[in-house]
Amino acid sequence: MGENPISIHVLGICSALAITTKIDTAVVMTLAVVAVLSISNTVISLLRNKIPNKVRIIIQMSVIASLVIIADQILKAYMYDMSKLLGVFLGLIITNCIVLGRAEAFAMQNSPGKAFFDGLGNGLGYGTILIAVAFFREIFGFGSIYGGQIITDQMYLSGYENNGLMILSPGAFFILGLIVWVHRSYTKVIDKE
């Protein structure tokens, strides 16, 4: 937990804002990132002694990009509605700094086994935050948890309203800020000046 990519390194914020309005999209996104990250880490680690230093970033990018395209194709074939919801953001895993960051910082120096688990761990850490943000946004924005309505019609009739801000990106900023704050004060991580 001390090395969470979002709350400690503040990486991958873009997608964390975009696809966390509901928990189910966040879960699918998490699975996609975990798959891409662990496979790309493994592949790059396997190639790490062969990759010429000059073009290493390009090679890393091509491996990641190919995996993302494949993930996108699979989603389109088996979870069409979900792929419509995720839209362009699934493709944007390519530009997610976490993936390239782990490839460059970890997979290039470590054995495939270690790199695989590093990818898995970072992916899940990323996913934990995504799902946490989505959890709060879905409750306050739609009054439901994982699609199941928890705010009853009775409560809407007596004047309760969903918070529209939570559905928009700024809502994610607030929640993400709070999560980073809580997590950092709990783990006592402070940026060095």
Residues 3 to 32 in contact with other proteins, rule: CB under 8 A: 21
Residues 114 to 133 in contact with other proteins, rule: CB under 8 A: none
Query: What's the closest the beta carbon of residue 6 comes to other proteins, in angstroms?
Result: 22
Which residues, at least 6 apart from 174, have a Cβ–Cβ distance to it below 8 Å? none
Q: Is there binding between residue 70 and other proteins (CB under 8 A)?
A: yes
3-state secondary structure of 149: strand
Distance CA 74, CA 31 (A): 12
Q: Of these, 1, 46, 57, 69, which contacts other proteins (CB under 8 A)?
A: 69
Q: Is there binding between residue 150 and other proteins (CB under 8 A)?
A: no
43 sits in which H/E element: helix 23-47
Query: What's the closest the beta carbon of residue 134 comes to other proteins, in angstroms?
Result: 14
* 76 and 133 Cβ atoms separated by less than 8 Å: no
Question: DSSP state, 179?
Answer: H
Q: Of these, 55, 57, 150, 178, which contacts other proteins (CB under 8 A)?
A: 55
Angle at 111 between CA 106 and CA 114, to 5 degrees: 70
Q: Is there binding between residue 167 and other proteins (CB under 8 A)?
A: yes
Q: Is there binding between residue 148 and other proteins (CB under 8 A)?
A: no
* 54 and 25 Cβ atoms separated by less than 8 Å: no
Contact segment (CB under 8 A) with other proteins among 70-78, 104-112, 147-155, 173-181 equals 70-78
The position carrying tokens 């979002």 is 6
Q: With contacts defined by CB under 8 A, how many residues of the chain interact with other proteins?
A: 26
Query: What's the closest the beta carbon of residue 111 comes to other proteins, in angstroms?
Result: 20
The end-to-end CA distance of the chain, in Å, is 22
Residues that bind other proteins (CB under 8 A): 21, 47, 50-55, 58-59, 62-63, 66, 69-70, 73-74, 76-78, 80-81, 84, 164, 167-168
